[in-house]
Chain A
Amino acid sequence: MNIVMMLAPMSVFLALLGLGAFWWTLRSGQYDDPRGDASRILNDDPTDRPL
């Protein structure tokens, strides 16, 4: 039983990390231009300074 008391909060914490990461990607505009981002990776020059 003790192991459950440890594992359960841990898994919730990990899921929260994932949620936080999604929040960050949403806030920093990473879904604004999916097509452009897919193409940018082919460019050698780092032209992806965010506005």
Chain B
Amino acid sequence: MALTYDAPGVDLSGFLRPKADGGESLELLVKGAHCAACIAKIEGEAGRLPGVLNARMNLTTGKLAVGFEGGAGDPAAVIQAVARAGYDATPFDPAQAAEAQDREGKRLAMALAVAGFGAGNAMMFSVPIMAGLFGQELGPHTRTLMQWMSAIIAVPCALYAGMPFFESAWRSLRVGKANMDVPISIGVILTIVISFIETFLGGRDSYFDAAVSLLFLLLIGRWLDHQLRAKARGAAADLLALQAPVAATLTEDGRERHMPLSEVLVGDLLIVRPGERVPVDGVVEAGISALDNALLTGETAPVDIAPGAHCRAGAVNLSGVLHLRATARSDDSALAAIARLVEAGAQSKSRYVRLADKAAAIYVPTVHTLAAATFVGGWALGLGPREALLRAVVVLIITCPCALGLAVPAVQITASGRLFRKGVLVKSGAALERLSEVDHVIFDKTGVLTEGKPRLMDASPAVVAMAAPLARASAHPLARSLAAEAGPGPVATDVIETAGQGVEGFIDGRLARLGRAAFVGAEGAAARETELWFGFEGDAKVRLEFSDRLRPDAARTVAALRKRGLTVEILSGDAAGAVERAAREAGIDAWRAGLDPAGKAAAVEAAATEGRKVLMVGDGLNDAAALAKAHAAMAPGTALEASQNAADLIFSGEELGAVVDAVDVARAARGRALENFGFAALYNAVAGPAAVFGLVNPFVAALAMSGSSIVVTLNALRMSTAGGRR
């Protein structure tokens, strides 16, 4: 679906973003840049253009940022310059680019650095205190001095580094709920306050370093989780930008202007060339063509359209150039109804309780009860309020949730890193958790089990070779497919293409026609959409039949899923015959055909009420609602925006085997996460009682906390190598 921007006179100024200093900036997604020479070539070509102040290629994100002097910006010229350097560039919608600035990530990184600084330096003063615990010479005055030094460093650091937790705890308390950050905040603040009191009274134990180390370890988990989501968001936005970046509008003076989809207004006149996707709903003003609605309805047969006909956003224009009058904005195109279904489904998904939250639901009441009991019990048994309170706080801090906070993010980031290398994009950690529980897989047919493109079916090579010269001259997808089958060769001369009918031209001096039955002159043949007819003037006419082929590894994937104890089913919007054939070839017994979007969603819901956890794999708009309703959802990178948004995982590449990989990795990740929880429970079962009975001092606390976190992280890193090989 690559659009060509190099036609002169195309106006892309809708993609420019005004800057504070009066200039303008532009972001382009550049494919294929990967080395130092690429940077030099791209920046050199773009930087030489008139009006360009600076050009910077970011290899990590694959984006080229260009700054223009005010009013001098010409995006089309930059795209041509990048093309001269040998790379494809696509303009990036400014609305999406603005989100890419990762403020939250920078803030977490800084909080992490401050916590690391605080933990290290507070520890420097804690070491002499700890040494004093083991009988080294340390007078009480020196100890108090060290404690004060520790406090001066640790307290400001804990307050800064703890802000993400305090803010989140406050937000959740204000709506009357308690999330994991509430006990963390209480633990940290109580620890600091008690340590202050102890230091002031000249007591032996203070836990300033423990409070900051706790925040440091928890922030590592937070930061990992954030990196995972930010990376997935960025990659998902890139996929969508490549897919349907622009709408081409015609201005009143006949000039063509390309603009972001979000800026198309009702009443705009749009141009849709063959091979392009219809950007918004509209009515045909001029032009005859056929539309491929496969992504909208799952039907593989093209639909003919003529002036006055309605077309829906997402359909692919197959043969002729169309002029459309937009009847809806991008936001409320026919997509809107589907989007509502998706939202309803997404709400049911947000009710899913993540593993870490399940663990927290047990952890929080247990630990707080234990701490309260320690205080009350200790006081009742004659410890004195000060000692009893100190022990209660030690219980809170040593049973710290750092293993909990790290256990899951560390596993999930290694798991999704592994999937990313295989071309599978994981949108969130919760998605992996849901995927691991799946026991039933539902496939859409068109574009998922099949390649979603028409391929020539068993025709004799002689006929293919005869028709190929005409096919090479046509832009029609069926003709293209025929030309691809025949390979390179001669092209027919004096070719005239009639939109929606066919092509005619001379092959070796003889007039020949390729196209619909009526156009070619085949008599008595029923006109079907997935066939072409070919014949020389006066000769017998030959039929060439096309069909959507299964992906090469479809049957293997289905077998692999069965081996893992999953059941497989097809839900399709296509006709029964086509679905049955695909099901037979892929080795699937259960299939249903002719379903509309609501029907698919209902089928997924019915399976869910039977207690099955459904993985839906679909690409079309007709799948979006089902994707959102399913327990877990996957979509190929070629899917429509609505479907990609509704899916949890997106796989790029031709292989359906990505589904098996994803299931394997998700299951392995769940296993690791559970192991980590088991370890954290074991650790707390030892450390908790030890703290209750006063066996813990600051040295033991520091050792135990970091030790448990390191074990959990190392176990998570095993994810990147072990298990899940097919």
Interface on A for B, CB 8 Å cutoff?
1, 8, 11-12, 15-16, 18-19, 22-23, 26-27, 31-36, 39-43, 45, 47-51
Contacts and interface: CB of A to CB of B under 8 A. Distances in A.
Nearest to A41: B36
Interface stretch (B118-126, B377-385, B613-621): B118-126
Chain B at the A interface: SS class: helix
B117 A19 contact: yes
B43 A47 contact: yes
B56 A40 contact: no
A36 B57 contact: yes
A32 B106 CA distance: 10
B59 A39 contact: yes
Given A12-B153, A15-B121, A19-B117, 13 more contacts: A11-B124, A16-B117, A23-B113, A26-B110, A33-B60, A34-B60, A36-B57, A36-B58, A36-B60, A41-B36, A43-B36, A51-B54, A51-B67
B121 A11 contact: yes
Interface string B294-322: 00000000000000000000000000000
Given A8-B149, A32-B60, A34-B60, A43 B117 contact: no
Contacts of B40: 43, 45, 47
Contacts of A35: 59-60
A19 B117 CA distance: 7
Q: For A26, A33, A34, A47, which residue has the most chain B Cβ atoms within 10 angstroms?
A: A47
A49 B60 contact: no
B109 A40 contact: no
B269 to A, nearest CB: 37
A33 B38 CA distance: 15
Given A23-B113, A47-B44, A15 B120 contact: yes
B189 interface: no
5 contacts: A12-B121, A22-B110, A26-B106, A26-B109, A43-B36
B39 A47 contact: yes
Contacts of B57: 36
Kindly name the residue among A16, A18, A34, A39 whose own CB sees the greatest number of chain B CB atoms within 10 A. A39
A49 B37 CA distance: 16
Contacts of B129: none
3 A-B pairs with least C-beta separation: A36-B59, A42-B36, A39-B36
Interface residues of B, number: 31
Given A26-B106, A26-B110, A43-B36, A33 B121 contact: no
Nearest to B63: A33
A18 B36 contact: no
B130 to A, nearest CB: 16
A11 B449 CA distance: 63
Contacts of A51: 25, 54, 56, 65, 67
A43 B36 CA distance: 6
B251 interface: no
Contacts of B56: 48-51
Contact of A32 (B36, B58, B110, B124): B58
A8 B136 CA distance: 19
Contacts of A33: 58-61
Given A36-B39, A40-B39, A18 B60 contact: no
A19 B121 CA distance: 12
Contacts of A16: 117
B35 interface: yes
Contacts of B67: 51
A48 to B, nearest CB: 8
Contact of A43 (B39, B61, B65, B153): B39
A30 B279 CA distance: 38
A18 B44 contact: no
B110 A49 contact: no
Contacts of B39: 36, 39-40, 43, 47
Interface string B17-59: 0000000010000000001110110011001000000101111
B113 A22 contact: yes
B114 interface: yes
Nearest to A47: B43
Nearest to A44: B40
A7 to B, nearest CB: 10
A42 B35 CA distance: 9
B507 to A, nearest CB: 51
Contacts of A8: 124-125, 149
Contacts of A11: 121, 124
A26 B109 CA distance: 8
A50 B58 CA distance: 11
